[in-house]
Amino acid sequence: SSTLRAMTDPTSLPERLTPLIATFKKDDLEIIISLVAMAALADGKIDQAELDALKEALEAAFASPLSLMVVKTLVGDAVSRIRAAGEDTFAKELGRELGEKKMGEDGLRVAFTITAASNGVSDVERARLTMIGIAAGLTEEAILAIEREVV
């Protein structure tokens, strides 16, 4: 499976994330940071595999190597915003922002790539990402197709 390949091939994650992140504009950095943090936090915790995926995603977004401390700071700030708003509320607002920018599909590709980095996509993560996709104006069928494509 692609998930197994992603877990055993250390070069696959950056190779997969870089072109996905490149579809966003440079002034979309805050959305990218929020999106990758929300994806990693979707199951309530950010594990080491997800933190590594976040580092890869943010390095692609910034087009530069980042220290783990910088990544943890960026993600920590986003997690604080997510928890302050409430995860469901934040997910819906993030989805609306992605939809307004016509980035719903690309955003979900990034999010599913991040969540799949750690033992595949759980039901809880899938539900949260579906919430983002619906708020972005995507159908459940389109969301499922994106998950199949990425994972």
- Please spell the DSSP secondary structure of 32-65, one letter per residue: HHHHHHHHHHTTS---HHHHHHHHHHHHHHHTS-
For 10-143, list the strands marked E by DSSP: none
* Residue 90 CA from chain centroid, whole number: 13
- Tens of pLDDT along the chain (151 residues) come to 344 344 444 446 778 888 888 888 878 989 999 999 999 888 888 888 888 888 888 888 888 999 989 999 999 999 999 999 999 999 999 999 999 999 999 999 999 998 888 888 999 999 999 999 999 999 999 999 999 998 8
Residue 101 sits at the vertex; the CA angle it makes with 97 and 107, to the nearest 5 degrees, is 70
Selection from 143, 150, 102, 139 nearest residue 126 by Cα? 143
The model carries a pTM of: 0.86
How many whole angstroms separate alpha carbon 13 and alpha carbon 31? 20
pLDDT value of position 80: 95
